Amino acid sequence: MKYIAILGLGVVGSGTADLFYANKKEIAARVGDEVQLKYVLDIRDLPESPYADKIVHDIEVIIGDPEVSVVAEVIGGLHPAYEFTCRCLAAGKSVVSSNKELVATYGAELLGLAEEHGVQYLFEASTGGAIPVLAPITRDLAGNRVQGISGILNGTTNYILTRMFRAGATFEAALTEAQEKGYAERNPAADIEGIDACRKICILTATATGTLIDPAAVHTEGITAIRQSDVQVAAQAGYTVKLLGRMVEQSGATFVMVAPFLVPAASPLASIEDVFNGVLVKTDFAGEVLFYGRGAGAHPTASAVAADVISVLRGDAPRRRWSKSDGGVPADFALFTCRHYVSLCGVEKSAVGVVWSEAELLPTEGEEIALLTPMISEREFEDELARLGASGARLQAHIRVLD
Amino acid sequence: MKYIAILGLGVVGSGTADLFYANKKEIAARVGDEVQLKYVLDIRDLPESPYADKIVHDIEVIIGDPEVSVVAEVIGGLHPAYEFTCRCLAAGKSVVSSNKELVATYGAELLGLAEEHGVQYLFEASTGGAIPVLAPITRDLAGNRVQGISGILNGTTNYILTRMFRAGATFEAALTEAQEKGYAERNPAADIEGIDACRKICILTATATGTLIDPAAVHTEGITAIRQSDVQVAAQAGYTVKLLGRMVEQSGATFVMVAPFLVPAASPLASIEDVFNGVLVKTDFAGEVLFYGRGAGAHPTASAVAADVISVLRGDAPRRRWSKSDGGVPADFALFTCRHYVSLCGVEKSAVGVVWSEAELLPTEGEEIALLTPMISEREFEDELARLGASGARLQAHIRVLD
């Protein structure tokens, strides 16, 4: 018999408990031993919960029980999740986590602490919900050099952008709809400002490269400035607007960013809609590989938590060692090069043509000029925009283009 | 130092050797030890090959060398691949394989033999080329019950169907084009008749359920009967035609089949084009998960071979045990239920309406009647078609519909 504990009986914690009960027999066969949920840590009593008899309020009960070999931390937030994780690892228990904030912040230390104590720290559920992506990068693409990652990593923003694209909704209307459906929080800042996606691209980048970068060093833009008219103009030109977390290699430099991008219709990312997530991994031998599925939700996230628990118990967990970035990664965003979608007003097309002679003008209604610039660096873009500003141009919208 | 050998210096063998040289440093870091290619078995001398100095002609050299711990069998075909694999496993060497025919035929025995000798038998490269899919099903979806699999498992046929859909090509013209581009063999029967996809859906089903079925027991149809007009009529109704390998649970029965299907545009399988493959796995907790990438080619397949080699050397290989089906799986195909696209001539719409009152008529040019039937079993479909035949109807086309 193997015993596990769950820290936090919220949405993911309940889903994880549900899974271990629902698929008890299958899991026993796969592990080669019965797996039993022994404790659930929560500050509440939750007498209505089917797991009420497992609830303890004191982490010491779990830490002090040598029978518990794996702990699932699904509390979220930095504290007390960090302290609990350290205590469990130091007590010789493997920890699996859905906590993207914790992994993106303290992942390197916690992996080191796990190695020091001969246990595992796994976090498949922190990125992409149900989608197997971290373990496949570590294990199933291990023969490759990962050259790039582009992911739709946040279901809330993808739902909003899908409604803007499919139903002609404004950003505000689509956000309200997402809130009504329970896809967006009442305070949606972490999603719509790109903070959630930023943590996830940091975790993905570290998984692929072994280097964990500070989320604060990542150029991060959300989707609040995307207008319905931009989505329509882009659609007519064959693009869909998506919020992407990206790791991009250019001229030997590694750029990491979160920003909305115009995604060409032929990209496998273009057809990922609603609350689904997808991660496109570019490699030297395998080429482009896409992982797609539900990026959030009680049961999908529980699937990833359970995979990690089972992996620990079977002894086939992916082993990782991360160092913290010494500052070389991410590279200076001013040097990142791509095409840019720009909408301007207060300027003549001829003046735009002087600055961007190879720009592709897009058909628009009204007085705005919409165009796609040639490949230019962020710095060049800013400089050229300033020149146009001197001629009276006012920037209405700016979205980068995925090549 | 770890030593490996490759059996067969064909396309995949060369690609695998390339990979271990190109990414030597990265692989050493991931394995924790240098990995060196010691032998390549081939009947030819191949003096022009960069690996000419590794070539041996006698399998006994490899079997007798205790330094070789992993052997990559990329010969293809049943013999001598089967005998070589047995010999290597019995000699205490793990074997990784890209050989779908061998795995679909002898996978259960070979997994048993590997277990008996305390080594691994892995075959990620046999299904989906570069796409991590077998290991993710075994490891990363291990908390789930797999309830269904629908895969685009053959790049040749997907290329042909894509050209029929996108460029209005006939089947014959698209096949010729695929042959000219090197995507189809001169004798394309194994691809266009569905035989290749059949082996792969057998391997996927065994990976998900633990039961290996006889490929000969699988209802298998190819794409040779698909007409350009069917693709166009389907497109106008919002469908794309795809050759799918499927494992489907219905009323407690498990059906396995290979056949062309009308795939609704909203399905993530619909946008998988050209030579790409994709596998959609339906599970109870994770929901639907899609794995997408290059299904064939020297370097993509080498990526999967390398992942298995590295996995063996790191000790985190997915462990599997398969039994051979006792006959309950696959269930009798006559009971499989779906909607059907049918094109008929020699009959009035009113007569069709008597048999299929809830059919959805599709707009066609000319005298044929095209329609989508309601959900009916294969047996009902055959019976009802016979009734229409008695009224003079002649079947011009029949393609099932993915729901």
Both A248 and A382 in one domain: the answer is: no
Range of weakest confidence among A21-35, B295-309, B315-329: B315-329
The interface pTM score, or ipTM, of the predicted complex is: 0.97
Asked if the Cβ–Cβ distance from B136 to A140 is below 8 Å, we say yes
Burial status of residue B65 (CB atoms within 10 A of its CB: 0-12, 13-18, 19 or more): middle
Q: Where are the beta strands (DSSP E) in B144-275?
A: 146-152, 211-212, 219-220, 239-250, 253-264
Nearest-CB residue to A289 (from B268, B293, B311): B293
Range of weakest confidence among A171-175, A344-348, B119-123, B307-311: A344-348
Residue A326's pLDDT is 82
Q: How many CA atoms lie within 13 A of A275 on its CB side?
A: 19
Q: What is the pLDDT of residues A250-306, one digit of tens each?
A: 999 999 999 999 999 999 999 999 999 999 999 999 999 999 999 999 999 999 999
Instruction: Please state, in angstroms and rounded to a whole number, the distance separating the CA atoms of residues A139 and B29.
Output: 13
Asked if the Cβ–Cβ distance from A310 to B143 is below 8 Å, we say yes
Domain CATH code at residue B98: 3.40.50.720
Chain B environment of A289 (Cβ under 8 Å)? 130-132, 291-294
Instruction: Please state, in angstroms and rounded to a whole number, the distance separating the CA atoms of residues B362 and B371.
Output: 5
- Indicate the pLDDT class of residue A366, thresholds 50, 70 and 90: confident
Q: What is the mean pLDDT of residues A33-59?
A: 97
Asked if the Cβ–Cβ distance from A141 to B307 is below 8 Å, we say yes
Domain CATH code at residue B383: 3.30.70
Chain A environment of B132 (Cβ under 8 Å)? 132, 136, 139-141, 289
Q: Where are the beta strands (DSSP E) in A224-336?
A: 239-250, 253-264, 276-283, 288-294, 323-324
CA distance A330 to chain B (A): 20
Nearest-CB residue to B287 (from A20, A293, A317): A293
Both A158 and A273 in one domain: the answer is: yes
Q: What is the mean pLDDT of residues A330-345?
A: 97
Q: What is the mean pLDDT of residues B204-221?
A: 97
Asked if the Cβ–Cβ distance from B142 to A15 is below 8 Å, we say no
Residue A219's pLDDT is 98
Q: What is the pLDDT of residues B45-66, one digit of tens each?
A: 999 999 999 999 999 999 999 9
Tokens of A400: 């980068």
Residue A365's pLDDT is 84
A200 is catalytic: yes
Closest to A305 (Cα-Cα) out of A105, A108, A49, A76: A76
Q: What is the mean pLDDT of residues B318-327?
A: 91
Asked if the Cβ–Cβ distance from B284 to A22 is below 8 Å, we say yes
Chain B environment of A166 (Cβ under 8 Å)? none
pLDDT, mean over chain B: 97
Both B268 and B393 in one domain: the answer is: no
Residue B394's pLDDT is 96
Residues 6+ positions from A117 with CB-CB distance below 8 Å: A89, A90, A92
Burial status of residue B5 (CB atoms within 10 A of its CB: 0-12, 13-18, 19 or more): buried
Both A224 and A209 in one domain: the answer is: yes
Residue B327's pLDDT is 81
Is A307's pLDDT higher than 90?
Answer: yes
- Amino acid identity of A52? A
Instruction: Please state, in angstroms and rounded to a whole number, the distance separating the CA atoms of residues B37 and B51.
Output: 9
Search chain B and give the residue with CA nearest A315: B316
Asked if the Cβ–Cβ distance from A290 to B285 is below 8 Å, we say no
CA distance A192 to chain B (A): 25
Domain CATH code at residue B287: 3.30.360.10
Both B343 and B318 in one domain: the answer is: no
Both A73 and A93 in one domain: the answer is: yes
- Has residue A39 been placed in a domain? yes
Q: Whole-prediction pTM value?
A: 0.97
Both B285 and B163 in one domain: the answer is: yes
- Indicate the pLDDT class of residue B332, thresholds 50, 70 and 90: very high
Q: What is the pLDDT of residues B167-197, one digit of tens each?
A: 999 999 999 999 999 999 999 999 999 999 9
Chain B environment of A270 (Cβ under 8 Å)? 271
Instruction: Please state, in angstroms and rounded to a whole number, the distance separating the CA atoms of residues B82 and B303.
Output: 22
Nearest-CB residue to B292 (from A141, A292, A311): A292
CA distance B25 to chain A (A): 10
Number of domains composing chain A:
3
Residue B325's pLDDT is 87
Rounded (10°) angle between helices B155-166 and B228-236 = 70
- Has residue A306 been placed in a domain? no
Both B289 and B363 in one domain: the answer is: no
Instruction: Please state, in angstroms and rounded to a whole number, the distance separating the CA atoms of residues A13 and A294.
Output: 17
Is A325's pLDDT higher than 90?
Answer: no
Both B317 and B337 in one domain: the answer is: no
Search chain B and give the residue with CA nearest A287: B300
- Has residue A206 been placed in a domain? yes
Report residue A91 CA to chain centroid gap.
30
- Has residue A101 been placed in a domain? yes
> Length of chain A, please?
403
Residue B274's pLDDT is 96
Residue B366's pLDDT is 85
Tokens of B338: 């779906």
Residue B390's pLDDT is 93
Q: What is the mean pLDDT of residues A77-106?
A: 98
- Has residue A362 been placed in a domain? yes
Search chain A and give the residue with CA nearest B284: A299
Q: What is the pLDDT of residues B358-380, one digit of tens each?
A: 999 999 988 899 999 999 999 99
Asked if the Cβ–Cβ distance from A303 to B141 is below 8 Å, we say yes
Both A116 and A149 in one domain: the answer is: no
- Indicate the pLDDT class of residue A44, thresholds 50, 70 and 90: very high
Point out the catalytic residue in the list B200, B242, B282, B324. Answer: B200
| B contact test, residue of A269, A285, A289, A323 with most B CBs within 10 A | A285
Asked if the Cβ–Cβ distance from A132 to B271 is below 8 Å, we say no
CA distance B15 to chain A (A): 9
Q: What is the pLDDT of residues B219-273, one digit of tens each?
A: 999 999 999 999 999 999 999 999 999 999 999 999 999 999 999 999 999 999 9
Instruction: Please state, in angstroms and rounded to a whole number, the distance separating the CA atoms of residues A152 and A92.
Output: 35
Q: Which domain holds residue A158?
A: 134-294
- Amino acid identity of B180? E
CA distance A19 to chain B (A): 7
Q: What is the mean pLDDT of residues A238-258?
A: 97
3-state secondary structure of A326: coil
Both A265 and A393 in one domain: the answer is: no
CA distance A12 to chain B (A): 12
Point out the catalytic residue in the list A54, A93, A200, A282. Answer: A200
Chain B environment of A316 (Cβ under 8 Å)? 139, 315-319
Asked if the Cβ–Cβ distance from A319 to B314 is below 8 Å, we say yes
Both B286 and B167 in one domain: the answer is: yes
Instruction: Please state, in angstroms and rounded to a whole number, the distance separating the CA atoms of residues A289 and B278.
Output: 10
pLDDT, mean over chain A: 97
Asked if the Cβ–Cβ distance from A285 to B30 is below 8 Å, we say no
Residues 6+ positions from B1 with CB-CB distance below 8 Å: B33, B34, B35, B36
